[in-house]
Amino acid sequence: MKLELDADQLDGFRCDGFVVVEGVLSTAETDAMRARAIELATTVDLEAEGSATIFSATDQSHAQDEYFLSSGDVIRYFFEDGAFVDGELDRPVELALNKIGHALHTLDPVFAPISNDPQIYSAASALGLAEPDPLQSMYIFKQPGIGGEVGSHTDHTFLWTEPRSAIGLWFAIDDATEENGCLRALPGGHRIPVKSRFRRLPDDRSTTMEVFDPTPYPTEGEVPLEVAAGTMIVLDSALPHRSLPNTSPKPRHAYTLHLIDKTADYPADNWLRR
Ligand code: FE2
């Protein structure tokens, strides 16, 4: 990893709400991360794990909720909706997963050292976090043909702190292009007040999206962030961003790491528990 943010990049982040940093991960690192994600997908017993069953039936939303809500401090496997036909996976598991999350950064021997590289903490400090605290990690597959759309959202909605503090680090494992569903973001959109908050309900077993402003985030003026493998994109937690479906025959793997500031309050009704 080679990560050092210069003054122009830090200015760009403050002005646009995101910054693209090229050449952060080496090919050896992206190759190792891809290989590890595929190894996890193909060696874990997903039947024993329960996830294959949970995700094969669309009416099992409660079981899916529980599987998701207890995934903050473990490694779990989430499928694409389009990967099941009549309750059966219709393709190899490594081509059926939507993502693996949410504690690769603490538990996995390949992802943890990269996620806890001192350069990550230095960059997070430079980006304004007093005490950078890696909170959540995901390996996102964005599979060829079935990789679904991720609608416009802000990460603060899902990783709420008071005051707002999260930053997202998005690492391209494959080249990301418009064809395979690259990130799209609205420059300066981080100045729009965050419109919703996803949180646990008092029963602690279900969640709600609390909406402060029902109007959608604007997409006019957004830019596609086409980047080469190894690039890191930093996202302000108030920046609206999204990605379109991957209808191409090419994968679009990415690794994301979200950090919060330990000096900020992390309310207990956040979905993610550690
Ligand atoms: Fe996001």
Residue with tokens 């079981």: 63
Joined tokens for residue 168: 């997202």
Q: How many angstroms is it from 216 CA to the middle of ligand 1?
A: 15
* Residue range 40-86, pLDDT digits in tens: 999 988 877 777 767 765 556 777 888 899 999 999 999 988 888 88
Q: How many angstroms is it from 159 CA to the middle of ligand 1?
A: 10
Q: Are 258 and 167 in contact (CB under 8 A)?
A: yes
* Residue range 101-114, pLDDT digits in tens: 999 999 999 999 99
Q: How many angstroms is it from 212 CA to the middle of ligand 1?
A: 18
Q: How many angstroms is it from 178 CA to the middle of ligand 1?
A: 17
Q: How many angstroms is it from 113 CA to the middle of ligand 1?
A: 22
Phi, psi (degrees; rounded to nearest 5) at 202: -55, -25
* Residue range 180-190, pLDDT digits in tens: 999 999 999 99
Coil, strand or helix: which one is 73?
A: coil
Q: Are 139 and 111 in contact (CB under 8 A)?
A: yes
Q: How many angstroms is it from 167 CA to the middle of ligand 1?
A: 10
Q: Which of 161, 162, 173 is nearest to 136 (CA)?
A: 161
Please state, in angstroms and rounded to a whole number, the distance separating the CA atoms of residues 86 and 180.
Answer: 27
